[in-house]
Structure 1
Amino acid sequence: MLRVLTPPLGYHLAGSVGLLSMGRHDPCARFVEGTFWWTARTPDGPAALALTRVGPDLHAEGHGPGAAWVVERADAVAGLRDDLTGFAELAAAHPVVARLARTHRGVRLPATGQVFPRLLRAVLEQKVTGKEAYQAYSAIVRKFGAPAPGPVPALWVPPDPADIAAAPYWVLHPFGVEQRRADTLRRAASVADRLERCADSVEATARLTALPGIGPWTAAEVVRVAYGDPDAVSVGDYHLPNMVAWALAGEPRADDARMLALLAPFAGHRGRVCTLLAAAGMGAPRRGPRMPLRSFAGY
């Protein structure tokens, strides 16, 4: 099943859909020979979506029982439903943001319409290094997921939340997931159906943060991708306050309150500003040692 989309002038596929991938080897979302592949567990069954630039167009091809579902959502997944209304005026108020808005004008925010797959990743990213989170995520997808339909053998469909909800904590332990995150993940999986039925990012944020173990950081990471929320700010992030303060005020260190104050003029698009800063690699100067890698599996 094929759908031809026409992106706006300057659209950047990799910069947009790259927000869906946890690195180059993400089992559920990755580029393979110039085509971006994204998998989903849809109401109609497992599916894989292939997005390929063909001249000025974007070809969206679906595979598997859920092919029609992912192709119908292909424009949202690619970020083509992203609404930039009012952002140019806000960006013009700060020279750095104005420059990034021009330089990275082709980066659009995707909206997958799926909460739990992004929640799985976000919970595993809590309070650990990126490498630790990826190792746990990749192992859990391969343990509880299934090979994706289509021609790419390395792709997997995300796990069924019911399978994770039914798994005892100790099943996740060998993957480096301690009991706190495992219990959070299992609780969220048990109410995944209700989370998927949320009408918008506001309702989803309220429901997510009502769950023990899920705070504003995790909720923002989820709704920014599931709903394409351009205002979602990951409060509680280890690096983000420093990045924002350095880019917008030349301050190498900041807390969440200072970050939010600097982002206040961009209300409605605060998360977009953070995305642009990250796309430009505008990190603050490093100080001190990196967070060490640990293995909970041996505890």
Structure 2
Amino acid sequence: MVHECRERCVRAVQSKDARFDGWFFTAVLTTKIYCRPSCPVVPPKVENMQFYPSAAAAQQAGFRACKRCRPDASPGSPEWNDRADLVARAMRLIGDGVVDRDGVPGLAAQLGYSVRQVQRQLQAELGAGPLALARAQRAQTARLLIETSPLQMADVAFAAGFSSVRTFNETVQEVFALAPSELRSRAKKGTSPSAPGTISLRLPFRAPLTPDNLFGHLVATGVPGVEEWRDGAYRRTLRLPHGHGVVALKPMPDHIACQLWLTDQRDLAIAISRCRRMLDLDADPIAVDEQLRTDPMLAPLIDKAPGRRVPRTVDGPEFAVRAVLGQQVSTAAARTHASRLVQAYGDPIDDPAGGLTHLFPRMEALAGLDPETLAFPKSRRTTLTTLIATLAAGEIDLGAGSDWDKAREQLAALPGIGPWTVESIAMRALGDPDAFVASDLGIRYAARDLGLPEAPKALIEHARAWRPWRAYAVQYLWATGDHAINKIPE
């Protein structure tokens, strides 16, 4: 853990290195304030610095958030999306709101461990248990709603997940050293109000970020009615625990502009978490690119456009179905197949600001489809219906807290699902940064043109040097081709 190397943390704080924002938090013993490493104020004396692995740990130790650098709004630690162990899986589930919905027992049940084991491991690594970590997330959600919405404070309290207005007031005062009304007054001085019914915010990321393949891929493979490109933003519908929403995401030089329309404000933190995950915004591009640049064949690609991200998904089962629909067909054909399922089985929605019409179908709804209506070979019909039935029964977990190795084994055991489909799902649904689609046609063409081994087995052997970032190498290789997935629409 970064916070355990005091010398390294001190250097990062003294140089105001934004690359470490979210990796650790600096608490100042004399002021009882905690900051992100890049805080613009004059660094405190070294003897007054104390380091914590999470905002929750700093808050639990009695420190309040800096009003200048807003450490609670820094990018998340890349460790939680790069690891597959218990702590990382727990953090992804907490970010997805599991503790707020199902409590710590629900979190432990999804992870397959006892409550005591989960609490002990989180406390040991992060200095805070699941309740404190969820509380820190509720505080940040409350701050966003206070600053970006016209909701009454009582509505903000319950939307953010607090059990009472009193607890909400006490938490906001304790974490931010300001009453909720004071937070709103401060925000009004420097921001313009959002349109009615919308929440506008900035999603931070670690630079550099090359958005071409990220947004290009999402748009080029987008399902009509569920996704669209409009006014320079990628828009899509979101199925959420308490309702549904629509999000618009626009790449900017130093952030992603995000506009959310939600039917239930309690879904705000979960919607943000899923959008950040889809855009891979918590990645550490410096670490990824440094590793891949050691291969002289990849170095020129990275130097040309550093900071490529892996386009992921907001819904694992949805992407798995779309991956099967995309087997051995063009991007256009895959979109057509998916669009037909959406029109027949998706839930219709209203989108006053655009042209979105449906939520992607639930697996339970797709379980009732007639295979004879599918316009592709019988073997692929069997693959699709078997996958849907398995997902509808909850037999494979492709969610935020899934066990990557177990999910791979279960997918590979299904008829018609081979290495390409398994690795595609691992890369974009499970979020495994080391997933590698060696048999993909675009990857093989890129390998040939770069002088890399073209045969999948030989390419996998060569790519050992790229681990654990092979999913990012895939993005650089795909980007060598002249395909719509590599271009942001004009």
Does 2:383 match 1:184?
yes
Q: Name whichever structure is richer in helix by fraction.
A: 2
Alpha-carbon deviation of 1:92?
Answer: 2.8
- In structure 2, the CA distance between the partners of 1:155 and 1:127, relative to structure 1 (3 Å rule), is same
Q: Is the Cα–Cα contact under 8 Å of residues 195 and 208 in structure 1 kept in the other structure?
A: no
1:125 & 1:261 partners in 2: Cα distance?
A: 26
Alignment of 1:180-259 (within 5 A): 180-192=379-391, 193=394, 194-197=396-399, 199-249=402-452, 254-259=454-459
Aligned partners of 1:245 and 1:259 also within 8 Å: no
- Look up the match of 1:15: 213
SS in 2 for 1:196: coil
SS at match of 1:12: coil
Which of the numbers 325, 330, 335 marks the counterpart of 1:129?
Answer: 330
Instruction: Give the deviation of 1:217 after TM superposition.
Output: 0.8
Residues 28-177 of structure 1: pairs in structure 2 closer than 5 A: 28-53=226-251, 56-65=254-263, 67-68=267-268, 69-84=270-285, 86-150=287-351, 151-172=353-374, 176-177=375-376
Separation (CA, whole Å) in 2 of partners of 1:24 and 1:114 = 14
User: What is the deviation of 1:91?
Assistant: 2.1
Q: 1:22 to 1:140 in 2, by over 3 A?
A: farther
Q: Once structures 1 and 2 are overlaid, which stretch shifts more, 256-265 or 87-96?
A: 87-96
**8 Å contact from structure 2 (residues 286, 307) kept in 1:** no
Query: 2: CA distance between counterparts of 1:58 and 1:28?
Result: 20
| Cα separation, partners in 2 of 1:61 and 1:119, compared to 1, 3 Å | same
Which range moved further: 131-140 or 238-247?
Answer: 238-247
Aligned to 2:17: none
Q: Report the alpha carbon displacement of residue 282 of structure 1 after superposing the two structures with TM.
A: 7.7
- Judge conservation of contact 1:48–1:70 (CA < 8 Å) in 2: no
Aligned to 1:289: none
Match of 1:294 in 2: none
Code of the aligned partner of 2:346: G
Shift in Å at residue 273 of structure 1?
1.0
More displaced stretch, 255-264 vs 19-28:
19-28
| C-alpha displacement of 1:161 | 0.9
Q: Sort the Cα spacing of 1:41 and 1:191 in 2 relative to 1 into closer, same or farther, 3 A.
A: farther
1:74 partner amino acid: C
Q: Does the residue aligned with 2:244 lie in a helix, a strand or coil? A: strand
Separation of aligned partners in 2, 1:166 and 1:277: 39
Confirm or deny that 1:276 pairs with 2:479.
Answer: no
**For the Cα contact (< 8 Å) 2:309–2:475, is it kept in 1?**
no
Measured in 1, the distance between the counterparts of 2:430 and 2:253 equals: 28
1:37, distance to aligned residue in structure 2 (A)? 1.0
The offset of 1:148, in angstroms, is 4.3
| Residue 85 (structure 1) shift | 6.6
CA contact 1:141–1:158 (8 Å) conserved in 2: yes
Tell me the SS of whatever aligns to 2:257.
strand
- Provide the secondary structure at the position in 2 that maps to 1:61: strand
Q: What is the CA-CA distance between 1:86 and the residue it aligns to?
A: 4.1
Gap runs ≥5 in structure 1:
284-299
Partner AA of 2:366 in structure 1: I
For the residues of structure 1 that align with 2:258 and 2:251, how far apart are their CA atoms?
Answer: 9
CA 238–96 in structure 1, closer or farther in 2 if over 3 Å, else same? closer
Find the residue that maps to 1:95 and give its secondary structure.
Answer: coil
User: Which structure has the larger Rg over C-alpha atoms?
Assistant: 2
Contact 2:402/2:430 (CA < 8 Å) preserved in 1?
Answer: no
Mapped contact 1:245–1:262 kept (Cα < 8 A): no
Instruction: Give TM-score scaled by structure 1 length.
Output: 0.81
Aligned-pair identity in percent equals 22
Distance 1:13 1:147, change over 3 A: farther
Q: What is the match of residue 70 of structure 2?
A: none
CA-CA distance at 1:121 after TM superposition? 1.3
The one-letter amino acid paired with 2:328 is K
Q: C-alpha separation between the residues in 1 aligned to 2:254 and 2:291?
A: 29
Residues 1:132 and 1:111: Cα distance change in structure 2 (over 3 Å): closer
Contact 2:228–2:355, Cα closer than 8 Å, also in 1 = no
TM-score (norm 2): 0.51
Cα distance, 1:57–1:37 mapped onto 2, change above 3 Å: same
Separation of aligned partners in 2, 1:6 and 1:269: 22
Q: Partner amino acid for 2:387? A: A
Q: Which secondary structure does the structure 1 equivalent of 2:367 belong to?
A: helix
Q: Deviations over 1:155-212 (max 9, x none)?
A: 532111111112221132xxx2332222222221222233234524323222211222
Aligned residues of 2:310 and 2:471 also touching (Cα < 8 A):
no
Give the 3-state SS of the residue equivalent to 1:117 in structure 2: helix
After superposition, the Cα gap between the structure-2 partners of 1:44 and 1:180, relative to the gap in structure 1 and judged at 3 Å, is farther
Change (3 A) 1:90 1:131: same
Unaligned runs of 5+ in 2: 1-198, 484-490
SS at match of 2:238: strand
Give the 3-state SS of the residue equivalent to 1:30 in structure 2. Answer: strand
Higher relative contact order (Cα pairs below 8 Å, separated by 6+ residues): 1
